[in-house]
Structure 1
């Protein structure tokens, strides 16, 4: 599962960092860059569509989730291969956007399938740590996509960058291709006779899945968790779009220097934050870990404002960016553990996917907000961070109002006679 999360991080890091910096370097406007980055998040924001389908159509001799994963990986690699046909990126922004959107449709399908597998296979006491390792692995993929493949895009061109990316994805695809979910699963259709008892088919109709999902979201804490998903990462993603533009044009940073900061140092610190977030959520509880992360991230945004006189120092800028990166990873994994706790077991995969979709919608909203923030605060950029800090701090109210055990207490297990 960690390898599959790394595969999902590859195209994300390539676009969010590599392609973004390439377009900024070519003088593409901030609103266009923000829209391109938002295209990465749209399929993830709408990935709740996959949840009911994967939960409903989950009986296959090759396993419940594995065929979905293999199909998604094939689609992702074919879409990336299509990018090589483009003579130049900045001259074909429309088709670049279409292919970025399509690639992330397949990546989001794989993500939902892997999340569903995690819900199926991971015992509750291991979920906090496992989430830390899995989401941390996506940051490893981000590093490869941003620093390695993004660097190749800037120096060797699109063909080399995509070829290396596809080679990495192909090697990762060996994991779901050669490993079964359960001993009873077929390795491939007609290959590798299944051993043991075949898992029973899912006989729940789509209507029952949707009715149960509606019941799950009738609980107050489920709705509050959805609002937290929708609002928590807006400030983070807005900053990731307008800040490199400001650094390049106002503070004289080179594209290569910022690539090292976001695509390398920031990714590794965020990965460490993921691992720490998983351990912290398991040790003190997911709700406390989320609240602490939100508070600390707010203080980092305020620190940007307070230290604005020192933005001319690369060391200060790097320290602030790295602090925000680590806390973003810690916050994300802590929220994952919280959402798994809030989710109602009969539709846990679908409900958790809905939370992840809303979380990615907050990334979309953040990317779209970057340009208005740049325009509003173009003569007073430090105040933009004051606004981000105040907004981030306000979201802690949602965290404190969530009762992670409320859904299970109120709904219990579905009755045998449920229709």
Structure 2
């Protein structure tokens, strides 16, 4: 009897969601350790804000190079296995192996340059996997599914981050750096089985040596000319609203990374926490935020609108941060800081879901990886700038002024979003795609 094949992603909404949950869970595993767990550990070991900021820059820098990889994904692929799926699998395998290699950095506390180099390579594969996954999401998700999918994806990433923090920090304290990293690597590797087993379109190959063929859908979408990619991107980024989406990504992601890299330093040096306690608090916060994002994050955005909900979240984040700034007498109170971190991460999760949904909606399927990655690259560039600001700002100003800069940056992101007209940009993208499709038909006739 012939075994029944799993439906392709294009045929099953539930499998689409499951695929992106698994891939973003894997992304959260490595990001939780790189961007929170290891910086908290470095702070506990007495490293300076400048050294920790340097590590954060090494982790953030590869994400700014995604604009180079993304056009290659749009232009080149192995179509019998799908448009983006071969790239996703390659990114996942590279992420797993590079994370394993980072685990064998000798005496990482006294070899920070080597540790930063290893983290840089891990982030290169993480950025590649992320660009391919996002391009796949734009390709296979309908517009009305994008907000909910981003809720699932953002929630899965936060749950992965919380699990990596909880497990990784526990293993760091009980065993050593190598054991902690290898265990997280195994979990990342396990997630690779999901894209390996799920086709994008029916009839495609599972593996290069298997049976299958190129789907008509992907062959129609595939761009085979660099000039077409460049013309499409240039026409899209000449629009004011596209530039506003890019600016929103840059400022919001920069403000988040600035603040979240500062928090472990603040917790260790002011509140007297250990890196394990901070990681546990952050893991708990991410678990709560991740589950909430999975369950209701996307629904709220679908129900009440992206701009309205993001504006609400921005306002609440600014409000609780201002409360933190004005509550200096409570800074050494662990319960107060614990509560702040949980509320902040919950609001942060919901705000990111909305911002990513805006960026995804404002992409053309023809150049899905390139356009979405351009948005995300600017977000990563903003993250790098935010991390770079930490050393000079904290070394010259007090904690309250340092935190107040975060409030100012987030207020700027809110102002940018206010002027953004999403329906107008979406209409332009739809008309552009129809024009290109008609031109393609005429050329083939």
TM-score bin, normalised by smaller chain: over 0.9
Counterpart residue number, 2:432 = 413
Give a deviation string over 1:224-271, Cα, whole Å, max 9, x none: 111111101333222222332233223322222212112x21211331
Secondary structure at the residue paired with 2:79? Answer: coil
Q: Quick one: structure 1 residues 407 and 347, their matched pair in 2 at CA, closer, same or farther if it must change by over 3 Å?
A: farther
Partner of 1:338: 358
Q: 1:18 aligns with which of 28, 33, 37?
A: 37
- The equivalent of 2:261 in structure 1 is 241
Alpha carbons 1:18, 1:153 under 8 Å: kept? no
**Separation (CA, whole Å) in 2 of partners of 1:86 and 1:233:** 29
Structure 1: runs of 5+ lacking an equivalent: none
Between the aligned partners of 1:364 and 1:199, the Cα distance in structure 2 is 35
Cross-structure match for 2:400: 382
**1:284, distance to aligned residue in structure 2 (A):** 1.5
Q: TM-score, normalized by length of structure 2?
A: 0.88
Show structure 1 runs of 4+ deviating over 4 A: 193-199
Q: What is the Cα deviation at residue 58 of structure 1?
A: 3.3
Say whether the 8 Å CA contact 2:254–2:380 is kept in structure 1. no
Match of 1:30 in 2: 49
1:289 aligns with 2:304: no
**Cα distance in structure 1, aligned partners of 2:291 and 2:326:** 26
Q: 1:127 offset after TM fit, Å?
A: 0.8
* CA distance in structure 2 between the partners assigned to 1:357 and 1:198 by the alignment: 28
Q: What SS does the corresponding residue of 1:282 show, helix, strand or coil?
A: helix
Q: Is the 8 A contact 2:49 2:265 kept in 1?
A: yes
Q: Is the 8 A contact 2:150 2:298 kept in 1?
A: yes
In structure 2, the partner of 1:349 is 369
The verdict on how the C-alpha distance between 1:203 and 1:235 changes in structure 2, with shifts beyond 3 A counting, is closer
Q: How far, CA to CA, are the matches of 1:385 and 1:75 in structure 2?
A: 36
8 A Cα contact 1:346 1:413, kept in partner: no
Cα shift at 1:56: 1.2
Q: In 2, Cα distance between the equivalents of 1:198 and 1:253?
A: 54
Asked if the contact 1:343/1:407 (under 8 Å) is kept, the reply is no
Q: Deviations over 1:128-152 (max 9, x none)?
A: 0111001111112212222212331
- The residue number in structure 2 matching 1:397 is 415
Q: Aligned equivalents of 2:287 and 2:233: distance in 1?
A: 36
CA distance in 2, matches of 1:410, 1:307: 47
8 A Cα contact 2:74 2:223, kept in partner: no
**Cross-structure match for 1:40:** 59
Q: Structure 1 residues 25, 193: CA separation in 2 closer, same or farther (over 3 Å shift)?
A: same
Partner of residue 105, structure 1: 124
Q: Which has the higher helix share?
A: 2
Partner residue of 1:220?
Answer: 240
- Whether the aligned pair in 2 keeps the contact of 1:69 and 1:176 (CA below 8 Å) is yes
CA distance in 1, matches of 2:326, 2:95: 43
The CA distance in 2 between the partners of 1:413 and 1:59, in whole Å, is: 26
Candidates 201, 205, 229, aligned match of 1:209: 229
Corresponding position of 1:280: 300
Task: Work out the number of aligned pairs and report it.
Answer: 416
Distance in 1 (alpha carbons) for counterparts of 2:214 and 2:381: 42
- Hey, what does 1:65 align to over in structure 2? 84
Residue 351 to residue 88, structure 1, CA distance change in 2 (3 Å):
same
Secondary structure of the 2:23 match is helix
- In 2, distance between residues paired with 1:195 and 1:218? 34
Tell me which of 21, 37, 44 is aligned to 1:2. 21
**Over aligned residue pairs, what C-alpha RMSD do you find?**
2.1
Change (3 A) 1:191 1:389: same
